[in-house]
């Protein structure tokens, strides 16, 4: 015992002697426990061996066909006018579509401005809106429970959703793609086999990636903004959703890139509670106005030019 202490003491003397001229000896290297970055709240892993979602056999004719435009109004339009405000569901973390401007606190983006155009026609003032923050997973629920009058949140029109809600005509055509860290070696959906991909539950993006690349495992999180953080923290290899949403993330982080071809078409419609047909027609009238007046183009040029392939308003289809 005494001998080993002596050896340590000698070693210390030699070490300190070697540093005699420096002002302060280097602090000893500290060891500690390396802590992984925490996963986003409510993150859940779905392994590649989990059962796949059943293919959607639903037929609803042309899901993109909507009611002919009319500003005549009816019970739903009357109720919104009596209230004096339009209640709009969207999320506040979607760069380019609906996000809070840090300086003014205003909700900005393409979807927010489409909603303002509807409020302008309904109430005579684009600012007469109450924005309610909802996640992608809660869009149908918010409409079914009439918590909101409309949803303006990158919502793809599908036969599955049309069982529960109604849609306006298409106001933007997006396509699902893949976002990765630059030079990751992942160039599209085929390279995602054995990789971990971030998605938000109850979105078309999640179903498409599970069917299109069953060999990928998934991390599900509440919002697409959480997916960007998970990618930045290297907790996933990729994020897959609409090119429109991915373009907003790529603009926020220049070390990321959108790769691969389109995985599926994602036509965006304004979500409206089932049965509110007068409001569907009214919203379609606003969309018709902004398509023909050039206002749609102005909004596209303000928010999305360069982010998407499309550069003109989608042609509406009417059913009756
Ligand atoms: N367009 C996709 C959907 O409606 C994803 C968009 C989103 O989650 O906001 O499910």
* Sequential pLDDT tens for the chain (320 residues): 333 333 333 333 333 334 444 456 677 776 666 677 888 888 888 877 667 666 655 678 999 999 999 999 999 999 999 999 999 999 998 999 999 998 999 999 999 999 999 999 999 999 999 999 999 999 999 999 999 999 999 999 999 999 999 999 999 999 999 999 999 999 999 999 999 999 999 999 999 999 999 999 999 999 999 999 999 999 999 999 999 999 999 999 999 999 999 999 999 999 999 999 999 999 999 999 999 999 999 999 999 988 777 679 999 999 87
Which tokens belong to 268?
Answer: 């965006």
Cβ–ligand 1 contact at 112 (below 6 Å): no
Atom of ligand 1 nearest to the CA of 204: 10
Task: Using most ligand atoms within 8 A of CB, pick from 133, 135, 136, 162 the residue to mutate for ligand 1.
Answer: 136
Q: How many angstroms is it from 290 CA to the middle of ligand 1?
A: 23
Residue 94 located in a structural domain = yes
Atom of ligand 1 nearest to the CA of 206: 10
- Cβ atoms < 10 Å from Cβ of 216: 24
CB 136 within 8 A of CB 224: yes
Residue 113 located in a structural domain = yes
Residue 118 located in a structural domain = yes
Cβ–ligand 1 contact at 95 (below 6 Å): no
Cα separation, 101 vs 298, in Å, equals 19
Task: Supply the residue whose CA is at minimum distance from atom 10 of ligand 1.
Answer: 203
Residue 19 located in a structural domain = no
Burial class (CB in 10 A: 0-12, 13-18, 19+), 85: middle
Q: How many angstroms is it from 218 CA to the middle of ligand 1?
A: 16
Element (H, E) at 250: helix 243-252
CATH code for the domain in which residue 285 is found: 3.40.190.10
Cβ–ligand 1 contact at 156 (below 6 Å): yes
Q: How many angstroms is it from 39 CA to the middle of ligand 1?
A: 22
Find, among 235, 211, 204, 225, the residue nearest to 44 by Cα.
235
Residue 42 located in a structural domain = no
Dihedral angle computed from the Cα positions of residues 44, 227, 141 and 214, in that order, rounded to the nearest 10 degrees: -60
Residue 285 located in a structural domain = yes
Cα separation, 73 vs 70, in Å, equals 7
| pTM for this prediction | 0.87
Element (H, E) at 75: helix 75-83
Domain span holding position 181: 63-304
Cα separation, 270 vs 97, in Å, equals 13
Residue 3 located in a structural domain = no
Residue 287 located in a structural domain = yes
């Amino acid at each position: 015992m005494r001998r080993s202490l002596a050896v340590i003491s000698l070693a210390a003397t030699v070490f300190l002697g070697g540093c005699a001229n420096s002002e302060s000896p280097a602090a000893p290297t500290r060891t500690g426990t390396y802590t992984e970055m925490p996963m986003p709240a409510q993150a859940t892993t779905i392994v590649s061996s989990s059962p796949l979602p059943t293919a959607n056999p639903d037929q609803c004719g042309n899901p993109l066909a909507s009611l002919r435009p009319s500003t005549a109004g009816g019970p739903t339009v009357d109720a919104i006018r009596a209230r004096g405000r339009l209640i709009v569901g969207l999320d506040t973390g979607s760069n380019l579509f609906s996000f809070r401007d840090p300086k003014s606190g205003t909700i900005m983006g393409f979807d927010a401005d489409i909603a303002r155009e509807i409020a302008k026609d309904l109430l005579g003032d684009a600012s007469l809106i109450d924005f309610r923050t909802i996640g992608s997973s809660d869009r149908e629920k918010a409409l079914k429970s009439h918590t909101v009058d409309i949803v303006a949140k990158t919502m793809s029109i599908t036969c599955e959703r049309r069982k529960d809600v109604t849609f306006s005509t298409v106001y933007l055509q997006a396509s699902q793609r893949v976002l990765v860290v630059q030079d990751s070696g992942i160039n599209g959906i085929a390279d995602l086999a054995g990789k971990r991909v971030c998605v938000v539950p109850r979105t078309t993006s999640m179903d498409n990636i599970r069917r299109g690349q069953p060999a990928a495992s998934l991390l599900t999180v509440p919002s697409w903004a959480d997916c960007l953080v998970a990618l930045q923290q290297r907790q996933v290899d990729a994020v897959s959703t609409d090119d429109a949403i991915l373009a907003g993330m790529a603009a926020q982080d220049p070390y990321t890139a959108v790769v691969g071809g389109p995985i599926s078409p994602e036509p965006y419609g304004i979500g409206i509670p089932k049965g509110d047909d007068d409001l569907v027609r009214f919203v379609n009238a606003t969309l018709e106005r902004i398509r023909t007046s050039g206002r749609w183009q102005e909004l596209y040029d303000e928010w999305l030019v360069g982010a998407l392939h499309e550069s003109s308003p989608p042609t509406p289809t009417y059913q009756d």
